[in-house]
Chain A
């Protein structure tokens, strides 16, 4: 999945249409849609409980939406119904989509029993079937790139939060994904550690990587995104280019949300 291919085509990487997700009686997403073309950086903002993280997790099917279509690079997700609930019909397809949409988690989630380098090469070797030598070479260069080249052989528990998150980003990059999913990547970090991670994310946006970014950080969203989606209680309340969304919000809810975020 070479990045330049999609950049040339500018084709659709991910399209999610009318996504509904419910946990028991609680309806978290009430018909949310999104279209990500190659090179897009889409920021999902909204207060806690607005459904933005759940929506992101529907993209790689960590959450299975009850209704709605998902297309990855034009290929429609296959569904089946079992016991009255919808679930993905094709496990290979799900794994392929996941391998192409690397996720970066709020709590980093590095595998604690592996060294940093092992974390980075794990999925390229087991899932993409890359040779270990090739994966290690790429892995080391990616760790250099995120600024922790000297930490390749230590365990995650020996790193600071900021270093762990950068290692997690290197792990995501090692998959050479079609798009990256960031789930509040800086929310668990102290402000001084946040800076180093933000630098890496900005760098990736400049490279033209396709990214979906759930974030509380409005300045980051404004800076890196070319499209901002404001979710409120499971629906898209407002969306558009960052200049419009942040400088002239139309809905009262977004206005309230932005002024609350600014005063934080």
Chain B
């Protein structure tokens, strides 16, 4: 990275560390921090969307929808996440390839499932074999976001459903009595009052999501845990171990990274709680309004 890094062996102290921490591999690790943040940033909104959709299914008066909502939340919640993170990306990947295969290679005669192998025509590969490296990375990442969203969405659906049920009936009935439509009741009264009941659960879910990001490693995405393990145990010609095994420092760094992330989010959630509980007859609401007059 720096000009003086041509031969690190001749360097000492700060300049050696500066060179060591800016090797291409280390730069990949810094990028992977962004990957983790991007995963969280993308998963959160999709989780909320799926959460609302799941809650809507569960609350539907149409029985098949209700059943689908129940099936989604109870299966995902009942299965260990690890299994889902392994299953969803592979299943999704194969499903997409199978569909592309049926469309693009309709003249293909061989079976797709040959024993233990899953074989589709080259044109159906997703992404295509000749596609650039970043396309592959993006596709894998998209699968990871999907898997995370499906898993956390089921929890969010339960939280939102419970929170919607917790809103006092008379608040909704009053809106009805004043001529509001179902839509208006939902967006003007039901949803605004729901957050105060949903936030504690969602804040937990958010922490679990942050803490779950190292599972990316399982999906073949080189996240920060991968790099910490890799770099901590790396011995190269140019950079000799500054210490017999420095993995402990990398993991300590990770520990602080995750603590910082969860600490910042806790502050964020505390603020949100204050906002949504304004006027509500909860502890937070009373605190925010300065108590009863």
Contacts and interface: CB of A to CB of B under 8 A. Distances in A.
Q: Does A pair with B? A: yes
Interface of A: 60, 62, 91, 95-100, 102-103, 105, 107, 109, 111-115, 122-123, 126-127, 154-160, 171, 175
B188 A126 contact: yes
- The 7 A-B residue pairs with the shortest CB-CB distance in the complex, in nearest-first order: A155-B279, A99-B179, A123-B178, A98-B179, A109-B174, A95-B179, A127-B179
Contacts of B290: 158
Interface stretch (B35-43, B84-92, B247-255, B281-289): B281-289
Contacts of A123: 175, 178-180
8 contacts: A98-B177, A102-B177, A109-B173, A112-B193, A113-B278, A154-B289, A157-B281, A157-B286
B171 interface: yes
Contact of A113 (B173, B180, B184, B193): B193
Contacts of A157: 279-281, 285-286, 289, 292
B292 A111 contact: no
B1 to A, nearest CB: 53
B293 A158 contact: yes
A251 to B, nearest CB: 33
A107 B281 contact: no
Contact of A109 (B171, B278, B293): B171
Contact of A112 (B171, B173, B184): B171
A100 B193 CA distance: 26
Interface string B155-176: 0000000000000001101111
Interface in B244-293: 276, 278-281, 285-286, 289-290, 292-293
Interface residues of B, number: 27
Contact of B176 (A62, A111, A160): A62
Contacts of B175: 111, 123
Interface of B: 170-171, 173-181, 184, 188-189, 192-193, 276, 278-281, 285-286, 289-290, 292-293
Given A96-B179, A126-B180, A112 B281 contact: yes
A170 to B, nearest CB: 13
B280 A112 contact: yes
A114 B276 CA distance: 11
Given A113-B276, A122-B188, A175-B179, 19 more contacts: A60-B177, A96-B179, A98-B177, A98-B179, A99-B179, A102-B177, A109-B171, A109-B174, A111-B171, A111-B189, A113-B192, A113-B278, A126-B180, A127-B184, A155-B285, A157-B289, A158-B279, A158-B292, A158-B293
B207 to A, nearest CB: 26
Contacts, number: 86
Nearest to A107: B170
A107 B279 CA distance: 16
A109 B175 CA distance: 9
Given A111-B174, A111-B175, A122-B188, A127 B180 contact: yes
Interface-central residue, A97, A102, A113, by most chain B CB under 10 Å: A113
A64 B194 CA distance: 27
B31 to A, nearest CB: 43
A75 to B, nearest CB: 15
Contacts of B285: 112, 155, 157
Contact of A62 (B173, B180, B281): B173
Contacts of B173: 62, 109
B64 to A, nearest CB: 17
A124 to B, nearest CB: 9
B279 to A, nearest CB: 3
Interface-central residue, B174, B278, B292, by most chain A CB under 10 Å: B174
Contacts of B176: 62, 98
A171 to B, nearest CB: 8
Nearest to A122: B188
Contacts of A60: 177
Interface-central residue, B174, B176, B178, B181, by most chain A CB under 10 Å: B178
